[in-house]
Amino acid sequence: MRMRKKKHGAERLAANARYLLERPETPLADPSALFGREAPTYLEIGCGKGGFASGMAEKYPGRNFLALEKISDVMVIAVEGAEARREAREADNLRFFIADAHDLPLWFAPASLDGIYLNFSDPWPKARHAKRRLTYRSFLARYARVLRDGGDLAIKTDNDGLFDFTLEELAEAGWTVLEQTRDLHASPYAEGNVMTEYEMAFSEKGKNINYVRALPPTEHTEHASSAPLEQTE
């Protein structure tokens, strides 16, 4: 996401520090402890302006939501949005952190999360940049590692090329597809769908939205937790 440099970005983040996590000294085995309650805990990767995470936290007060974004100027918008929507949340169930998805294993211990969302990830259309795509197999291995037994990955994208690539990578890495459609808004999965900022912009232009939900390979998960992670670059 491109963005003009935010004025007073650091101050604006500090003013909303209650929503922001610092990187833990050791990866979190029980992220729900961050919320002071036992509840299923979900992570959105590349949350952008944070509308999806806020919407999910409002819709599911019984669940905890974490959202990460690598660009701090974008995070300013996300935390200010969360604060603006504070009254709409029944529970104190929303937190953000500034991080690169690559560093996920530094934040979360194996089998610690109930679900992961990837919404409108950067497509990196050039073949030589394929390893940067957030659905490249080395990223899928990171997600498999931090997901609990039964935890799944839900992906939405406008980008048909990225979607094709994602389906190939999921198959290659042995994930089980539970739900899949190339036209989310015309599908049964549209019910209960919380739209992201990108999703609203693309669907207003008439673009179909691709969606897939998948489970990591159980027999490889154990392996994945102990094996060294492949480096992307």
Residues in contact with ligand SAH, counted by CB under 6 A, come to a total of 21
Phi, psi of 10 (to 5 degrees): -60, -40
Judged by CB under 6 A, which of 31, 48, 115, 216 binds ligand SAH? 48
DSSP string of 42-57, one letter each residue: EEEES-TT-HHHHHHH
74 binds ligand SAH (CB under 6 A): yes
Q: How far is the CB of 112 from ligand SAH (least distance, A)?
A: 18
The answer to whether residues 36 and 61 touch, using CB atoms and an 8 Å cutoff, is: no
75 binds ligand SAH (CB under 6 A): no
Q: How far is the CB of 75 from ligand SAH (least distance, A)?
A: 9
User: Which range in 15-23, 57-65, 70-78, 145-153 contacts ligand SAH by CB under 6 A?
Assistant: 70-78
The answer to whether residues 80 and 54 touch, using CB atoms and an 8 Å cutoff, is: no
Binding mask 2-41 for ligand SAH (x = CB under 6 A): ----------------------------------------
68 binds ligand SAH (CB under 6 A): yes
169 binds ligand SAH (CB under 6 A): no
Pairing of strands 147-157, 176-181: unpaired
Binding mask 87-126 for ligand SAH (x = CB under 6 A): -------------xxx----------------xxxx----
Can you name the residues that pair with 214 across neighbouring β-strands? 153, 177
Judged by CB under 6 A, which of 114, 158, 169, 197 binds ligand SAH? 197
Q: What number of other Cβ atoms are within 10 A of residue 210's Cβ?
A: 21
The answer to whether residues 153 and 213 touch, using CB atoms and an 8 Å cutoff, is: yes
Known catalytic residue at 122 = yes
Q: What is the 3-state composition of the chain as percent helix, strand, coil, each rounded to the nearest 5?
A: 40, 20, 35
Give the dihedral of Cα atoms 215, 101, 21, 51; nearest 10 deg: -70
Chain residues binding ligand SAH by CB under 6 A are 1, 45-48, 68-71, 74, 100-102, 119-122, 196-199
Residues acting as catalytic residues: 122
